[in-house]
């Protein structure tokens, strides 16, 4: 049987990475994280995120994030076809939402273009946390994009891009005020209820 691809999306510091790691262990699956900063393209992305003096056009950044996913696509497909579950920390929706937040007049079809053909998640969680709580979390504000005004735009764009009304694979999960364990419990109950 094909492995399941479960994706966790959310704003910066919303707890995605912690939960992805926990779920990967529980499901005895593999953890994928995007951007993957260890690849050749990932190194450029890391420089862009951590060095405010390093400028790239919005289009270039968008295409680099997508190319970073394609660097891992063959490995991802192989694991899934072998029956390994994959838990993913960010993916295509982050790509669209962050680029759209920079320029809301951007053609969404253009934004989706480079990601067409990547494996689709069986389930996508979008974790929502209040901006107040995010601001108190460790490391907030260190990287490009970690600014409250921008994150508010990103949230709006995520909610626009995630077609929760028509796409049954999307689950928006409010984790505000929940502990790590309580959040895991909530996500796990959804995975179980869906028989994944």
Given the rule CB under 5 A, which residues bind Mg ion?
12
Q: What mask of x and - would describe binding to ligand TMP in positions 8 to 27, judged by CB under 6 A?
A: ----x---------------
Tokens of 158: 């995520």
Strands (DSSP E) found in the chain: 5-10, 30-33, 86-89, 123-128, 170-174
- Which of ligand TMP, Mg ion, none sits in contact with 49, Cβ below 5 to 8 A by type? ligand TMP
Interface positions, 63-82, toward ligand TMP (CB under 6 A): 65
Measured from the CB atom, is 28 or 57 closer to ligand TMP?
57
Does 3 bind ligand TMP (CB under 6 A)? Our answer is: no
Type and span of the H or E element at 74: helix 58-81
Q: What mask of x and - would describe binding to ligand TMP in positions 110 to 149, judged by CB under 6 A?
A: -----------------------------------x----
Measured from the CB atom, is 72 or 85 closer to ligand TMP?
72
Interface positions, 29-68, toward ligand TMP (CB under 6 A): 34-35, 49, 65
108 CB-near residues (< 8 Å, 6+ apart): 96, 100, 161
- The candidate with the shortest Cα–Cα distance to 168, out of 147, 143, 193, is 193
Contact between 96 and 118 under an 8 Å Cβ cutoff? The reply is no
Exactly one of 4, 72, 85, 90 binds ligand TMP (CB under 6 A); which one? 90
What sign has the CA pseudo-torsion 67, 69, 75, 81?
negative
- The secondary structure of residue 4, as a DSSP letter, is P
- Contact positions toward ligand TMP, by CB under 6 A? 12, 34-35, 49, 65, 90, 94-95, 98, 145
């Amino acid at each position: 049987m094909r492995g399941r691809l479960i994706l966790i999306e959310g704003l910066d510091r919303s707890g995605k990475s912690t939960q992805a790691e926990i779920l990967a262990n529980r499901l005895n699956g593999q953890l994928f994280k995007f951007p993957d900063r260890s690849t050749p393209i990932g190194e450029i992305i890391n420089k862009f995120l951590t060095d405010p003096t390093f400028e790239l056009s919005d289009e270039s950044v968008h295409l680099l994030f997508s190319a970073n996913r394609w660097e891992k696509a063959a490995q991802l497909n192989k694991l899934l076809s072998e029956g390994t579950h994959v838990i993913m920390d960010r993916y295509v929706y982050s790509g669209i939402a962050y680029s759209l937040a920079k320029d809301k007049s951007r053609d969404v079809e253009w934004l989706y273009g480079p990601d067409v053909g990547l494996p689709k998640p069986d389930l996508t969680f979008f974790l929502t946390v209040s901006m107040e709580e995010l601001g108190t979390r460790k490391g907030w504000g260190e990287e490009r994009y970690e600014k409250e005004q921008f994150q508010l735009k990103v949230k709006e764009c995520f909610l626009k891009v995630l077609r929760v009304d028509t796409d049954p694979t999307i689950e928006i999960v409010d984790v505000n005020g929940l502990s790590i364990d309580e959040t895991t419990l909530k996500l796990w109950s959804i995975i179980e209820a869906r028989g994944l």
